A and B are shown apart, each in its own frame.
Chain A
Amino acid sequence: MNTLSPEPSAAPAPLLRTTLARRSSPAVPMAETAPAVESRDFKFWYGATAEPTLKGITLRVPRKAVTAIIGPSGCGKSTFLRAINRMHDLLPGARYGGELLLNGQSIFGPGMDLVALRQRVGMVFQRPNPFPKSIFDNVAYGAELNRLVAPRDLPDLVERCLRQAALWDEVKDRLDQPGTGLSGGQQQRLCIARALGNQPEVLLMDEPCSALDPIATQRVEELIHELKRDYTIVIVTHNMQQAARVSDYTGFFDRGELIEVGETEQVFTNPASPRTEAYLTGRFG
């Protein structure tokens, strides 16, 4: 029998229903906000292969909201995310097609300064990767590098970022200790603080909680909820409940295509595509 049952009003998995109920729906509908990041038929190739890894993604990422990207492993979520701050530039032979815009300006265009782009678009990686420097120097790194604040204002900035990252109370007495000496969850929050220290507009998070325990995960999720007041956040996650809890909008990727995107509530409770529904209910494949 076909596992893809064509029920039109598919019920979400029970766990999702409870988490969804607690979440308020986004203030602004997706189409009406001016997007912070917009991709138009964006394609990406890792090498000289004929088949692109991303096959034409058209997606608007609303400002000051959390957009989750979900999808099976290898579908191109990280590839898409890393294109937004051009982390692919290091790879020889990588190509792209279509358009990718930050505030309406082409990310790959000649007018885009790579250093400025990466300052405006911060990134938090799957595994915490603090520098083997002091906690203070980790957070101050971007601001010092890009000369964002005067040296005497650095302590204020560091404190503010650590507070925003909900790490201040745990580390305020040992800012001179190496950041690599923190626990995994603390390290990840340090990396978030470090990204905030760069005063970005957009924060990209690639499975930021996959190396964390449930408590640390919860803290990071609360943090994301706080941060969306000031930042545009794009988060890749394999955890459906997490996507449901933290995001306002959700995009479902499969095999290099964006299958559907919409308000999280709608995507989870009433997905337009049977493929999304199959994935959400665990009957995928």
Chain B
Amino acid sequence: MATSSLPTPEAPATAPPASLVGAQHGDRVFRLLLTTAALAIPLLMGFLVYELYTGSALAIDRYGLGFVTGSTWDPVAEEFGAAPLIFGTLLSAVLALLIAVPLSLGVAIFLTEFAPRWLRQPVAFVIELLAAIPSVVYGLWGIFVLVPLLKKVVFPFLRDTLGFLPFFQGPIYGPSMLAASVILAIMVMPFIMSVAREVLLAVPNSQREAALALGATRWEAVTSAIVPYARSGIIGAVILGLGRALGETMAVTMLIGNRHEIAASLFAPGYTMAAVIANEFSGAGTDIHFAALTYVALVLFVITVLVNAAARLLIWRVSRGAPAGGTGL
């Protein structure tokens, strides 16, 4: 008979294969590991806040909330107010974004939509490399190249053309709020650019085609369809840049002039929270000086959290009803 001549089929495996059980076991271990890791982060965060709070308790008791509005910083007289630092931190970060966002979005759009194909990858790669340069190197470059250039060419030009505005008046020193903002802008550009580029690349081709098929030019397709589609991701990119600008220390302190003062002119020196902590922490002689610096750190932490929360709210509001226009970070 035909059946007898056929090779007998191999015995079906009735017992569940051992490897499967192992995989389930491995899954459990893996999940435990991940859960622990996920829980560790909020714990660490709480611990950080607690440490900052206890470290600054002395200053909180002595100055209270007046600390954030006071503008004298005198370790000898033991008088501390952080208003100029908060002002400097926020202003330098905002100015940096004002410069960096249009530039990096422009580059990202150029690289995803308009640049010749052979150019896209190399340029994006080089710009991403810029993100890897240590901040102190940016600071040195700022001192030796950027500041002289700004002082000799850009600042005088601004004073001559826009001098009627209070922001562009007064003596030109070199190290200044504007110089620090420019270096910050250069430093956050690679981050904003590369995230915005990823987000734009993730816009489905069907959106591009839809706009073009309706008679949009390439540029109109970008502004009316592609960028709106990617908007929440692009805002995410900007927030990433903002976070970096708020916390950046080394290059800023090398260029901002380090003076506790709120000046209207952007040519005047200023100070930031991160910079003052880095500069004075090792030399803090008294307990109250130490506590005041920790208080500054606490304020910086709170401001960063608030800014990020506000930004997330913004992303959530613009992306309601929209498809995931990118990562939203």
Contact = CB atoms under 8 A, between A and B. Distances in A.
A87 B209 contact: yes
Given A87-B209, A178-B322, A129 B204 contact: yes
B213 interface: yes
Contact of B215 (A87, A115, A132): A115
Interface string A163-190: 0000000000000011011000000000
A148 B217 CA distance: 16
A131 B231 CA distance: 12
A116 to B, nearest CB: 7
Interface residues of B, number: 23
A250 interface: no
B228 A131 contact: yes
Contacts of A119: 214-215
Contacts of B322: 132, 178, 180
B55 to A, nearest CB: 47
Given A129-B206, A145-B220, A118 B321 contact: no
Given A131-B207, A141-B224, A118 B323 contact: no
A46 to B, nearest CB: 15
A145 B215 contact: yes
Contacts, number: 70
A123 interface: yes
A85 B210 CA distance: 12
Given A132-B228, A133-B228, A146 B207 contact: no
Given A131-B225, A132-B322, A178-B322, A145 B216 contact: yes
A1 interface: no
Interface string A120-139: 00110101011111000000
B212 interface: yes
B229 interface: yes
Contacts of B321: 132, 177-178, 180-181
Nearest to B230: A132
Contacts of A141: 211, 214, 224
B215 A129 contact: no
Interface in A85-138: 85, 87, 90, 92, 115-116, 118-119, 122-123, 125, 127, 129-133
Nearest to B325: A132
Interface core residue of B210, B214, B321, B325 (most chain A CB under 10 Å): B214
Contacts of B325: 132
Interface in B194-220: 204, 206-217, 220
Contact of A132 (B214, B217, B229): B229
B206 A115 contact: no
Contacts of B220: 145
Interface of A: 85, 87, 90, 92, 115-116, 118-119, 122-123, 125, 127, 129-133, 141-142, 145-146, 177-178, 180-181, 191, 194-195, 198
8 contacts: A90-B212, A115-B216, A118-B213, A132-B321, A133-B228, A146-B215, A180-B322, A198-B214
